[in-house]
Structure 1
Amino acid sequence: MFHSLRVSSIERITDDAVAVTFAVPPALHDTFRHLPGQHLNVRYSAGGEEIRRSYSICAAATEQPDPPALRVGIRMVDGGAFSTYALKELAVGDQVEAMPPTGRFVLRPRPGHFAAIVGGSGITPVLSIASTLLAREPEARFCLIRSDRTAASTMFLDEVADLKDRYPDRFQLVTALSREEQAAGLPSGRLDRERLSGLLPALVSVPDVRGWFLCGPLGLVREAEGALRTIGVDRALIHQEIFHVADEKTSTPAVGRMATPAESTLTATLDGRSGSWPVQDGESLLDTVLRSRSDAPYACKGGVCGTCRALLVKGEVRMDRNFALEPEETGAGFVLACQSHPVTPEVEIDFDR
């Protein structure tokens, strides 16, 4: 369900990025209280078309009695409808419709050593994760390895520097610039698998790290995951969130027959109500539901945000792309409705699980 939130501040943090803060009415405080690492799904209409996007919350998570802190980072994307609107037209006092915070790329504060490898705007959820962890858990440490093109393009530079000043013994920062030399830190260049495989053991005691958080463009996340597996990190300790995916596809094959049936019926449960509809030729399961249920959850429709995650209860489907679900989730039967197409004549999914 969407709620209208007022924009309380807009701060330009780089030439192509802003931080937008929303004021939350007291009646919605509990609804919009987020876990560190979660995101907001927002929408607005342009030219009669509804546009939805997902943006990570960069503010530290709050607890009662403090109001929720909803601040998101938005970077301009070439051709991006909402990012262009946010950077060029959105103003303080405007109303933006948003769903309650969601997402599973989270770290609930607990003792231990944690680390993150981020690229570009991938710093956004990790900033919330690190600031919440260090403030609430005195026995926690955090190592942040971040990659950006240049110093001028680095988002949340001041906020990260403030963490370093406040927690000098518990927060470790390593920066790499791919297109610019820096006076201190790593030599310029990409953080690829080979480079990270040699770098990480020199920065942290790898066996002691209780969780790795990878966030940013697909290429960086894949290289970082490969490096972690190379140095022996258990996959269960690696958490990922992809921010930018080009035209690349990751197909998730269905088990059994692969041909799409001439006729297929979808049954879906959403908010406790079920319905059945015929799937039109070439239509995704999400689009089938949206024809009758406009409240079906989605944001990116690109297989990245995971908002349309649903449990496959019956039948088989084929997913065109999957950059949001972990192997454990797909193994348990979860699918992305926006990327799923029926393989069997009858398919049933449940958005409520």
Structure 2
Amino acid sequence: MSKFYPLTVSTVRQETRDTISVTFEVPVELAEAFAYQQGQHLTLRTQIGEDDVRRSYSICSAVQDKCLRVAIKRTTGGLFSSWANANLKAGHQLEVMPPMGHFNVPLDPSQGRHYAAFAAGSGITPILSIIKTTLMTEPNSTFTLYYGNRASSSVIFRDELGELKDTYLERLNIVYVMSREQQDIELFNGRITKEKVEQLLKHWTPVEDIDVAFICGPEDMMLGVSAALQEAGMPKENIKVELFAASIPKHQHKPRVLDADARHDTEVTVILDGNATTFTMEKEKESLLDAGLKAGIDMRYSCKGGVCSTCRCKVVDGKVEMDVNYALEDYEVARGFVLSCQSFPVTDKVVVDFDQAE
């Protein structure tokens, strides 16, 4: 699972002025490795100049599509996204890591639930996969999507969403919220904020009618929607969130002050793909990930910002502290899972297992 595999791009489609969708050819011998669940993401890797660049992008195809497709939106200063939008063509090869992520819930064809999703901009990417997969898997379930954009021209997958609505007329409700394009219903103008969601829950979709909610977008939107849902009575465990990497907040690690008689170094053992490698690192100088990479271990990672969960591993001995965590659920942290890019050793010995993180 930690390996990158060369996959050939089969199609590149312009979705909006600054967003492309990219479909990969998956050889028969890799079909099992690249089988995915709705809401998961791929880590892509390529060489741009002298830089080894890797980024994570959500899969936007349904599980039933058997088509590995991601969307890449060009972001200001985004090295990979700018390169991809300008250069990526059918026939190109990219290094791709098998699907990862837990932005989903188990589906059951026998159950009928009402799901709600709140997305902004490129946050629609995993949500599209979740909606399509869910409606095809659970014939008795319904879905309401609140999708925020600046204007109609910036709506990613607008045609595809329209076709989905035509297919599931009675089971899919799509509400577009526009911040720079006036709509007839005043409630649907502006941004998706905590206050906006409070009004939507009051006048449009009562919280008691929602079984599971999915949120994907910038941090402030994600926090606001989650707070509105919880304050309205929705249990936190019924809310699934995914922060897209383009809005990673800047974070600078603040080293802890160690006792004068405390050891400043830690013996770290990394279990990866069945192999155990041990190295020594300073406790507060760098993260487990950076120290492991410096020690020559090909540890998996992508965003390095605590968002994508690509560097997820389990602490099986010792203790670490995480600076930030936007990717792991509370129950995962309670079971010992951490993000190695944000983890700093506390004890003199630490053992982390990437294989248990699958």
User: Where on the TM-score scale, by shorter chain, does this alignment land: which range?
Assistant: over 0.9
Q: Compared with structure 1, are the counterparts of its residues 28 and 246 closer, same or farther at alpha carbon in structure 2 (3 Å cutoff)?
A: closer
| Structure 2 residue identity aligned to 1:195 | K
Partners of 1:2 and 1:100 within 8 A in 2: yes
Q: What is the correspondence of 1:295-314 to structure 2 with a 5 Å cutoff?
A: 295-314=298-317
| Structure 2 residue identity aligned to 1:182 | Q
Which stretch shifts more, 111-120 or 285-294? 285-294
| Structure 2 residue identity aligned to 1:37 | G
**Separation in structure 2 between the aligned mates of residue 136 and residue 323 of structure 1, nearest angstrom:** 28
- Give the structure-2-normalised TM-score: 0.91
2:35 counterpart of 1:36: no
Partners of 2:248 and 2:305 within 8 A in 1: no
Which stretch shifts more, 292-301 or 135-144? 292-301
**Separation in structure 1 between the aligned mates of residue 297 and residue 78 of structure 2, nearest angstrom:** 23
What secondary structure, in the 3-state scheme, does the structure 2 residue paired with 1:134 have?
helix
Which stretch shifts more, 304-313 or 106-115? 106-115
Which residue matches 2:119? 118
Which residue matches 2:80? 82
Which residue matches 1:98? 96
**Separation in structure 1 between the aligned mates of residue 166 and residue 322 of structure 2, nearest angstrom:** 45
Which residue matches 2:183? 182
What secondary structure, in the 3-state scheme, does the structure 2 residue paired with 1:174 have?
strand
**Separation in structure 2 between the aligned mates of residue 250 and residue 240 of structure 1, nearest angstrom:** 23
2:285 counterpart of 1:282: yes
CA deviation after TM superposition for structure 1 residue 240, in Å: 0.6
Which residue matches 2:67? 69
Which residue matches 1:316? 319
**Separation in structure 2 between the aligned mates of residue 278 and residue 306 of structure 1, nearest angstrom:** 24
Q: What is the correspondence of 1:180-329 to structure 2 with a 5 Å cutoff?
A: 180-183=181-184, 186-243=187-244, 244-249=246-251, 261-280=263-282, 282-329=285-332
CA deviation after TM superposition for structure 1 residue 137, in Å: 1.8
| Structure 2 residue identity aligned to 1:336 | L
Q: What is the correspondence of 1:153-168 to structure 2 with a 5 Å cutoff?
A: 153-168=154-169
CA deviation after TM superposition for structure 1 residue 251, in Å: 8.3
Partners of 1:176 and 1:185 within 8 A in 2: no
| Structure 2 residue identity aligned to 1:16 | D
Partners of 1:109 and 1:132 within 8 A in 2: no
Instruction: State how many pairs are aligned.
Output: 348
Q: Compared with structure 1, are the counterparts of its residues 253 and 166 closer, same or farther at alpha carbon in structure 2 (3 Å cutoff)?
A: farther
**Separation in structure 2 between the aligned mates of residue 174 and residue 11 of structure 1, nearest angstrom:** 25
Which stretch shifts more, 145-154 or 119-128? 145-154
Partners of 1:108 and 1:133 within 8 A in 2: no
In terms of fraction of residues, the more helix-rich structure is 2
Partners of 2:14 and 2:21 within 8 A in 1: yes
**Separation in structure 2 between the aligned mates of residue 312 and residue 87 of structure 1, nearest angstrom:** 38
Which stretch shifts more, 229-238 or 131-140? 131-140
Partners of 2:269 and 2:352 within 8 A in 1: yes
What secondary structure, in the 3-state scheme, does the structure 2 residue paired with 1:101 have?
strand
| Structure 2 residue identity aligned to 1:328 | Y
2:346 counterpart of 1:343: yes
Partners of 2:115 and 2:143 within 8 A in 1: yes
Partners of 1:192 and 1:220 within 8 A in 2: yes
| Structure 2 residue identity aligned to 1:148 | N
Deviations 1:83-136 (A, max 9, x none): 011100111110111011111002343331111111110100010110111122
What secondary structure, in the 3-state scheme, does the structure 1 residue paired with 2:174 have?
strand
**Separation in structure 2 between the aligned mates of residue 275 and residue 39 of structure 1, nearest angstrom:** 27
CA deviation after TM superposition for structure 1 residue 252, in Å: 11
Partners of 1:107 and 1:129 within 8 A in 2: no
Q: Compared with structure 1, are the counterparts of its residues 333 and 175 closer, same or farther at alpha carbon in structure 2 (3 Å cutoff)?
A: same
Deviations 1:284-335 (A, max 9, x none): 1012222345432211111110111111222222222211111222222211
What secondary structure, in the 3-state scheme, does the structure 2 residue paired with 1:109 have?
coil
Which residue matches 1:109? 107
**Separation in structure 1 between the aligned mates of residue 99 and residue 255 of structure 2, nearest angstrom:** 30
**Separation in structure 1 between the aligned mates of residue 80 and residue 296 of structure 2, nearest angstrom:** 23
Partners of 1:196 and 1:227 within 8 A in 2: yes
| Structure 2 residue identity aligned to 1:179 | R
| Structure 1 residue identity aligned to 2:349 | E
Taking only aligned residues, the RMSD between alpha carbons, in angstroms, comes to 2.3
**Separation in structure 2 between the aligned mates of residue 252 and residue 147 of structure 1, nearest angstrom:** 35
**Separation in structure 1 between the aligned mates of residue 259 and residue 88 of structure 2, nearest angstrom:** 46
Deviations 1:129-177 (A, max 9, x none): 1011112221111111111112111111111111111001000111101
Q: Compared with structure 1, are the counterparts of its residues 134 and 246 closer, same or farther at alpha carbon in structure 2 (3 Å cutoff)?
A: closer
CA deviation after TM superposition for structure 1 residue 55, in Å: 0.4
Partners of 2:176 and 2:188 within 8 A in 1: no
What secondary structure, in the 3-state scheme, does the structure 1 residue paired with 2:347 have?
coil
> Unaligned 5+ residue runs, structure 2?
none
